[in-house]
Amino acid sequence: MATSFESQNWYRAAHLRPALARRIEISRQTFRGQVWYVIRNPMTGKFARITESAHWLVAQMDGTRKLGEIWDAACAELGDMAPAQDELLALMTQLSGLGLLHTDGVPDADGMSDRAGRMRRRMQVMRFLNPLALRFPLFDPNRILDGLWPFARPFFTIFGALAYVALLVAGTVSAGRHWDALTGNIIDRVLAMESLMLLVLVYPLVKLLHELGHGFAVKKWGGEVREVGVMMLVFIPVPYVDASASTAFPGKWQRILVSAAGILVELGLAAGAMLLWAEMEDGLARAACFNVMLIGGVSTLLFNGNPLLRFDGYFVASDLLEIPNLGTRSNRYIGYLIQRYLFGNTRAKTPVRAPGERGWFFVYAIAAFAYRLLISLTIVMIVATRFFILGALLAIWSVTLIFVVPTLKHLRFVATSPALRGIRHRAVTVTGLALVLIVGLLGFLPVPYRTVAQGVVYAPYEATVHATEPGIVATLHAAPNALLEPGRPILTLTDPFADSRLDTARAEARKYQLRYEQALSESAYDIRLWRAQALRAEQESDQLQARAEAMVLTAPRRGVFVLPEASDIEGRFLMRGDVVGYLVDPGELVVRVAVHQESADLIRSRAKAVSLRTADRLEDARPGHIVREVPNVGQRIASRTLTTEGGGPFALDPERGPEPHTLEPIMQFDVAPDTPLDAAAIGMRVHVRIDHGDEPIALRIARRVRQVFLSRFNV
């Protein structure tokens, strides 16, 4: 039925004389060319945004006129714009609920207090429903702010603004100059323990200044700040102020500045810290500066300044776009689109009130949802790595809040909402289809499942040719990549000291021989002594002789001779045990692949097909198969090629050496290509793709979750 102009409840209101509350502020604001009025109660901070015609009506409510008279006047005055009686009552309900309006009637006190109690309980439940953002109001800071205002005033002048801009520019330039030093190894620096401690200390300080910024900005235009408190944001206490006074500011830019003040303060701090950091010596103060920059930069970008989350940036964006209540209304718009076009509900009401809002609503609703999801998951991940149980609970919580609750709400709406009467069949069908589609896509549609990893071409130990003696490579006998029989000489090592050592030994042997011969005629005791000495010297010279001969390195086995650095081998000095090259049977070359420990189970249990692409011929994929798992599951990695140092995915543990060890546990396994690799490829990076067969996404997530639990509980 069309909206009735007259209300069935009018009799309850027509004789009453409504009056606006005594201390309220009304300000006129323009959004996208439409005039709105904000009525605000400065004591409670509650406000309502009403249309021009509603304002006309509200303005008549001074306690002397009866509501009936006001409405009659409105009909005469406003014509088509006049609200229906029910709309007027709804407006009054809203205003009185916010403490902005009262009537001379005796309100239903019991009922109202009952409702207020219910509302309060619901609010309390809501508070604890979202443990990531608990609010604890502390006190009324208005006086403190008034007292501090003289110190803040200079910042809100033109000179203050200029100085601020100059500071920002200087900071930015400095940051540009020191970019590499700033960003090098940033994760390691941030996550180091002492750095974290410092961060925890600096963070509330920065945030306090941030909130002061909001407070002073409100003060600047005569607003009041009546509440300050602490919010537990992801279990980190963050101060907040109630800057809602700014909603009544008539100017768009005033409101924007209030919302942006916090970010501006943080950016200013970051710029100042940058300048100091560039000048300072390493130490605690410098680290603190770094942290200030980190907070000012990162948190501003990711959280505060980001309009997709409901922090400062959101309010800035909302005012900038002149779309009040952007978040809620954009969600409602999506709801409207679904109702209108999917369910075919022609009675659905669009929240779009001004031109151009539509597009923003659409984009914002989707982007904000996606971003919120991303941020929540990231937070969960981070928390989970430190406190596993908590992280798991958080994850359940986030999933519930982001997916389950909205889904249930939607289902309830579809099932019970009176708005869908007559089209419920279609609504249920559409919802059902959507659910089936989602469940089908996630739970049943097999999608290719692969692990991509890197490996190196790896020769077995027995194929390695080691230098048996130290020496300089004199000549290379064997041609690289030639097939050698066992015993064939590979190269000759010259030891510049070997000959002289041999000469010395020979001379010594001769010396003792002569001493011996001399002693034959002198003393029986000496005979024995010199004879022994002579024998020893003789042996030593023989040994040296043998070693001088062994300087020719021969092939220990049959195989293709691979010399990784063939061009500059001659003249190089080799220590005993150094790898000279390899004698490989190309068939025995494998690719040693390193993956994160988490993938191990998957690779062990389900490796349908493996394909390899060597770094020199990326376009050729060759099949292979896993031959063995390298038994020492640990952090020692096969080659530096696979570490971040060598361009691979694994970070090196800087505290362990000299052999390369990764920070995270890894698992390595050997893949044998079905067609032999070129022997020359030893040590080369290989990109490996392990195909696990097709699997629906839901199963994949389940597996992952199970794995995480198993690993955490060491089962």
Binding site for another protein (CB under 8 A): 1-6, 8-13, 16, 75, 79-80, 82, 84, 89-90, 92-93, 96-97, 101-103, 105-108, 110-112, 115, 412, 416, 418, 421-422
What's the closest the beta carbon of residue 71 comes to another protein, in angstroms? 13
One DSSP character per residue, 595-608 reads EEGGGHHHHHH---
For the sheet with 236-241, list strands across it. Answer: 133-139, 228-233, 236-241
Strands annotated E in 563-619: 573-574, 579-584, 590-596, 609-614
What's the closest the beta carbon of residue 56 comes to another protein, in angstroms? 15
424/531 with CB nearer another protein: 424
14/569 with CB nearer another protein: 14
**H runs (alpha helix) in 420-568:** 424-439, 498-520, 524-550
What one-character DSSP code corresponds to residue 573?
Answer: E
153/412 with CB nearer another protein: 412
Closest CA to 284 of 199, 174, 177: 199
Question: 609: which 2 tokens?
Answer: 């097909």
Closest CA to 60 of 17, 105, 13: 17
115/153 with CB nearer another protein: 115
Q: Measuring CA to CA, how many Å separate 306 from each of 66, 315, 327?
A: 48, 10, 13
**For residues 644 and 668, is the Cβ–Cβ distance under 8 A?**
no
What's the closest the beta carbon of residue 345 comes to another protein, in angstroms? 12
149/413 with CB nearer another protein: 413
What's the closest the beta carbon of residue 83 comes to another protein, in angstroms? 9
What's the closest the beta carbon of residue 344 comes to another protein, in angstroms? 14
What's the closest the beta carbon of residue 23 comes to another protein, in angstroms? 18
Dihedral pair phi/psi, residue 662, rounded to 5°: -90, 160
What one-character DSSP code corresponds to residue 63?
Answer: S
Question: 437: which 2 tokens?
Answer: 């589609």
Amino acid code (one letter) for 502 = L
271/352 with CB nearer another protein: 352
8/64 with CB nearer another protein: 8
4/378 with CB nearer another protein: 4
**162 burial level (CB within 10 Å; 0-12, 13-18, 19+):** exposed
What's the closest the beta carbon of residue 186 comes to another protein, in angstroms? 51
113/378 with CB nearer another protein: 113
- Among all chains, which residue has been given the structure tokens 């040693």? 592
What's the closest the beta carbon of residue 191 comes to another protein, in angstroms? 47
Amino acid code (one letter) for 705 = V
Cis amide bond preceding 658, omega within 30? yes
Return the H-helix or E-strand segment holding 689.
strand 685-695
Measure the CA–CA gap between 655 and 30, rounded to whole angstroms: 62
What's the closest the beta carbon of residue 447 comes to another protein, in angstroms? 37
12/617 with CB nearer another protein: 12
Measure the CA–CA gap between 498 and 496, rounded to whole angstroms: 6
115/704 with CB nearer another protein: 115
Amino acid code (one letter) for 547 = R
What's the closest the beta carbon of residue 100 comes to another protein, in angstroms? 11
What's the closest the beta carbon of residue 102 comes to another protein, in angstroms? 7
What's the closest the beta carbon of residue 8 comes to another protein, in angstroms? 6
**For residues 348 and 339, is the Cβ–Cβ distance under 8 A?**
yes
- The torsion region of residue 79 among left (phi > 0), alpha (psi -120 to 50) and beta comes to left
11/159 with CB nearer another protein: 11
Neighbours of 483 (CB within 10 A): 16
What's the closest the beta carbon of residue 432 comes to another protein, in angstroms? 20
93/378 with CB nearer another protein: 93
**345 burial level (CB within 10 Å; 0-12, 13-18, 19+):** buried
- Among all chains, which residue has been given the structure tokens 């809100």? 156
Closest CA to 273 of 174, 386, 139, 133: 174
Q: Is 4 helix (H, G, I), strand (E, B) or coil?
A: coil
**What is the maximum span of the chain, computed from C-alpha positions, in angstroms?**
151
